[in-house]
Structure 1
Amino acid sequence: MNRLPIDTKYLSNVLSELLDIPSPTGYTDTITMRVADMLDELGLNVELTRRGAIRAIRRGRDIRGARAIVTHLDTIGAIVKSIRPNGRPSLVPVGTWSARFAEGARATVFSRKGGYRGTILPLKSSGHTFNDEIDSQPVSWDNVELRIDALTRSPEETDRLGVEVGDLVAIDPQPEFLPNGFIVSRHLDNKAGVAAGLAALSAMQQEEVETPVDIHWLFTIAEEVGVGAASIVSNDVASLLAIDNGTTAPGQNSDEFGVTIAMADQTGPFDYHLSKKLVELCVENDIRYQKDVFRYYRSDSASALEAGADVRTALATFGVDSSHGYERIHLHALRSVAELVTAFCISPVAIERDFYKRTDTTGFTDQPIDQAEQRLPRDVSRVHPPKSE
């Protein structure tokens, strides 16, 4: 058994701190620096890309065939599209989420003069004024506006505040950590994944474990808009394990407990051998798991492949109810994901051919294609009863 014990108090504290830092895509500098500090505290040297994606390498016995754990720091948010005649900004989403969940949200708009607090409201928000129209107006981004908590009743007054088209808006997470292990908040996608990854790294550092190959800890800053790991995966990496949210909803097999291993998303199947290895590690290490397929979902792994990275990819998720809305997870899933990450990092290399970016056919992998043996019950009549005369 390779999995390591996870400090769930550390995991929860890290998640709470990350949720306190606003980080909509495009406004991630602060959270980048905080996570860089956390990695430094855990004893790793940090490299930043120009825009602020993070790579920190934990050295193993071999630099070849490195493994990477990738999570993303950015969240959904909004951006100012225009200023209405009443001085209130109209908004469009950053990332994919419904205006249904924007209505009533407390938020911060980051202007050239600093941040201003406000509330995202439907255009018709007062029942005393609009009566039943508050329920009949459409749900869309064209029908919401940001009420800034400052003196502004016209475009001119809003301009004097420094608020203008293109300013980014962060949505308050409003987290609750319940005694029964449930966590309810916005932006658990993917700050919970970041916390699970850091908790796994903390466990490995605490136990001073040696890994067979280098482990690259990657943190991206634009996954919610599809960029993700496009420019952070080095040629040394042979296997890329993304940590992100699974969707617990009707028609899905994800769960708020244990690890949900994604077998495919909208970009296609994940690597057969790496996904199979994760399942085997769950079985060997007594980690609860289930598999799922996501039709309307992609993660950092897709952007890495689209950018040309020749890596095996897999996705381990924690089940999230109401993803990109008011999300809910359970600490059991986060602990399980972190345990699987430790088991994966410590596990022996099964495909040594992956040490080389290109080589001949020696040691190439095998996928069974023979027909499975079918075993019939001894008393076949119970399966196909004789026809009555």
Structure 2
Amino acid sequence: MKDHTDDLAGIDAVGTDTAGTDTTTTGTARAGTAPSDDRTIDVQELGKANLTGFQDLSTGEIDTEWMVDILFRLLRTPSPSGRTDAVMQYIGDIVNDLGLDSTVTRQGTLIVDLPGETETFDRSLVVHADTIGCMVSGLKPNGRLSVVPVGTFSARFAEGARVQIVTEFPDVVYTGTILPLKSSGHAFGDEIDTQGVGWEHVEVRVDERVESREGLEELGIEIGNTVALMAGPQRSRSGYINSRHLDGKAGVAIALAAAKSVKEGRLRLPHRTSIMVTIFEEVGHGASSGVSDDVAELVSIDNAVCAPGQNAIEYGITIPLKDMHGPFDYHLTRKLITLAQRHELPVARDIFHFYRSDVAAALEAGAGARAALLAFGLDASHGWERTHVDSLRACAELVTLWLQTPLTLEEWDANKTGDLKDFPSQRQPAIGERPGDMQHEGKISNVPRYRPDEDPGTDLQPDQG
């Protein structure tokens, strides 16, 4: 690579080198503030993520047993999208016990105030308490129920699930089982293996003496009632947690454990942070409201995709670079990876191909923040899921580290807007380089600037041949 030391000679810079050494010099300007005539902003240096002091930080002490206990209590509280009041009340009680203030939006999102040294919410940590589930779509003549999914998952994983049928009356809840239409080998023989897979091929058997539509109506069961799949959580001696609905609720437990660590450990947070607990993530619009306009960094905790062909890990942290919505913020994503690596937390990078999270909902609704996803390990998502205690703890530790850092591009991110000339663009291949060049020695230049008086050269003219 060519040495570009001379290219930066005489230019004041702000930023850090890749080893975390502070290289800040005088003569910098905050975004939106014009520099004086005797100063020059090197936007390339300004564009480096602030890594100052990363090695000096300490992870918060995570109360792992408390976190797992909270997780199991959450898992045992049904909360399919659209029926989340009970679990949100429970989470609110935990927040109050931690001595943290919170508010609730009209829609029902809980916003927890994690105090920092700024007055505004500069950061937001987003998790979701809602889960996949079902809804009654029909009362069948045989006294059973047809259902449709709430959220996206296969009827194959619903077969055999024990469920709770939640009626319009708070104290009237029935139990049942989701079964294939042909569920007995003694009655149907090999047809139990050849019947189709899909929601039209399953029904709910209600644990009541009912054999007709009229009997269901007498019980108070109606179209639109919520059908919640029971989680059935179990913890193995080796640290595995098996359950339905880890997707979402493990993220809530991680966020609460991190908040507990920050509160009890009196960690210094340079930026006030909101912890948002959303209730419609599984249907696509969880964080579409509630993100403050002041938020500069938005990080969501959700599940990693642990499966063949993926690079996610079940025992640590996975940081995806992209999902269906698109690439996550370049600088913030790599900042999280660097934090984990420098503190020897197990971390992997991955691409999630069929995946959306609260990040997508927030950005599509107009959030102007840098956004990234931090994922705990999860096998068989939206089915019989499995994670590991080590992964939950590592994710919580990374959250405590992130909360102690300055904003990713500290000078620029401190303001909502700034002058174009100060925008911290990255170095890119020189504008004169063209595909097919034999060799350009990896030449890198500053971002090209518009110079109307310059002759672009013959190589920029259209091919006349």
- Identify which of 238, 251, 267 aligns with 2:325: 267
Partner of 2:295: 237
Per-residue deviation, 1:58: 1.3
2:90 counterpart of 1:31: no
Aligned mate of 2:191, from 121, 133, 138: 133
Using the alignment, how far apart are the partners of 1:120 and 1:248 within structure 2? Answer: 26
Aligned to 2:131: 75
Please, which runs of 5 or more residues in structure 1 have no aligned partner? 375-389
Aligned partner of 1:218 in structure 2 is 276
**Distance in 1 of aligned mates of 2:71 and 2:284:** 23
Q: Give 3-state SS (helix, strand or coil) of 1:287's partner.
A: coil
Give distance in 2, aligned partners of 1:151 and 1:94.
27
Say whether residues 1:358 and 2:358 are aligned partners.
Answer: no
Q: Please give the TM-score of this superposition, normalised by the length of structure 2.
A: 0.78
1:368 matched residue in structure 2: 427
1:184 corresponds to 2:184: no
CA shift, 1:350, in A, is 3.6
Q: Distance in 1 between matches of 2:401 and 2:246?
A: 23
User: What SS does the aligned partner of 2:241 have?
Assistant: strand
**Given that residues 64 and 356 in structure 1 are in contact (C-alpha distance below 8 angstroms), is that contact kept between their aligned partners in structure 2?**
no
**What is the aligned partner in structure 2 of residue 292 from structure 1?**
350
Q: 2:109 aligned with 1:53, yes or no?
A: yes
Of the three residues 386, 390, 394, the one matched with 1:328 is 386
Cα contact 2:407–2:414 (8 A) shared by 1: no
| 1:63 correspondence with 2:144 | no
* Distance apart, 1:206 and its partner CA: 1.1
Task: Tell me by how many angstroms 1:365 deviates.
Answer: 2.4
Q: How big is the shift at 1:348? A: 2.0
With normalisation by structure 1, the TM-score equals 0.93
Distance 2:427 2:174 in 1: 59
More strand by share: 1
Structure 2 equivalent of residue 318 of structure 1:
376
Q: Helix, strand or coil: the match of 1:349?
A: coil
AA partner of residue 359 (structure 1): G
Give the number of equivalent residue pairs. 374
Instruction: Please tell me whether the aligned partners of residues 185 and 328 of structure 1 are also in contact (alpha carbons under 8 angstroms).
Output: yes
Q: Which moved more, 1:250-259 or 1:345-354?
A: 345-354
Matched residue, 2:148: 92
- Name the CA shift for 1:65/1:158 in 2 (closer, same or farther; >3 Å): closer
Q: State the distance in 2 between where 1:237 and 1:128 align.
A: 60
Structure 2 contact 332–408 (Cα < 8 Å) conserved: no
Query: Take 1:350 and 1:130, find their aligned partners in 2: how far apart are those partners?
Result: 62
Cα distance 1:240–1:78, how it changes in 2: closer, same or farther (>3 A)? same
* Whole-Å separation in 2 of the counterparts to 1:310 and 1:347: 20
| CA distance in 2 between partners of 1:373 and 1:4 (Å) | 45
Alignment of 1:194 with 2:258, yes or no, is: no
Q: Structure 1 residue 373: deviation in Å?
A: 6.5
d(CA) in 2 for partners of 1:271 and 1:319? 21
Identity across the alignment (%): 47
> Which SS does the other structure have where 1:50 is aligned?
coil
**Structure exhibiting the larger radius of gyration computed from Cα positions:** 2
The alpha carbon displacement at 1:157 in A equals 0.5
Residue in structure 2 matched with residue 386 of structure 1 by the alignment: none
Q: CA deviation at 1:366?
A: 3.1
Look up the match of 1:307.
Answer: 365
1:350 to 1:295, Cα distance in 2 relative to 1, 3 A? closer
4+ residue segments displaced more than 4 Å: 371-374
The Cα of 1:361 is off from its aligned counterpart by 3.2
Distance 2:304 2:391 in 1: 10
Match status 1:171 vs 2:229: yes
2:144 aligned partner, one-letter code: R
Looking at structure 2, the residues matched to 304 and 95 of structure 1 have their Cα atoms a distance apart, in angstroms, of 18
Q: Distance in 2 between matches of 1:312 and 1:107?
A: 39
Q: What CA RMSD, in Å, does the superposition of the two structures yield over aligned residues? A: 1.4
| 8 Å contact kept, 2:60–2:267 | no
- Secondary structure of 2:272 counterpart: strand
CA distance in 1, matches of 2:422, 2:99: 36
